[in-house]
Amino acid sequence: MTVTAPNLRNRYLQDSIQTASPAKLLTMLYDRLVLDLVQGEEAIRAGEIENAHEKISHAQEILIELQVSLDVEAWSGAPGLANLYGYLITELIGANIAKDAERVAVCRGFVEPLRDAWREAAASAVAH
């Protein structure tokens, strides 16, 4: 492999993912999910339909991964979280079809507090 900035960045990202704790991986997924939602919403508003589709579809893929990897037996709130993931996937499919930035924003409104909560939980787990 030729040493170039993109190759080094990709290698760093790959190494970061492979060595991250489960809590860190979860926060990384949520961070990317929020980023995709922000960029998808902005792309719709800018009329960049193909870019919007790409970002919203990627957000759906992340939500599907979160949903299928969730152990609904692990804690009492897990079934509710699984239902929320299902709702968000459905809403994003509709938002993507209709190119509705407001629906994407509503989804982001659910995801950002979850991301922040998981980030706090991961930070407190490291601190203890």
Examine the pLDDT at 12 and tell me if it is beyond 60: no
pLDDT at 24: 85
> What is the residue type of 48?
E
**Looking at per-residue confidence, does 7 or 40 come out higher?**
40
Please count the residues of the chain.
128
Examine the pLDDT at 124 and tell me if it is beyond 90: no
Are 55 and 43 spatial neighbours (Cβ–Cβ below 8 Å)? yes
Q: Minimal CA–CA distance to 58: which of 43, 40, 41, 31?
A: 40
- Alpha carbon separation from 37 to 42, 100, 121 (Å, rounded): 8, 12, 22
Tokens of residue 17, six digits: 């993912």
**68-95 mean pLDDT:** 95
pLDDT at 52: 98
Tokens of residue 122, six digits: 């991961």
Q: What percentage of the chain has pLDDT greater than the value 70?
A: 84
Q: How far apart are CA 65 and CA 57, in angstroms?
A: 12
- Alpha carbon separation from 111 to 23, 29, 32, 88 (Å, rounded): 16, 11, 11, 9
pLDDT in tens, 42-51: 999 999 999 9
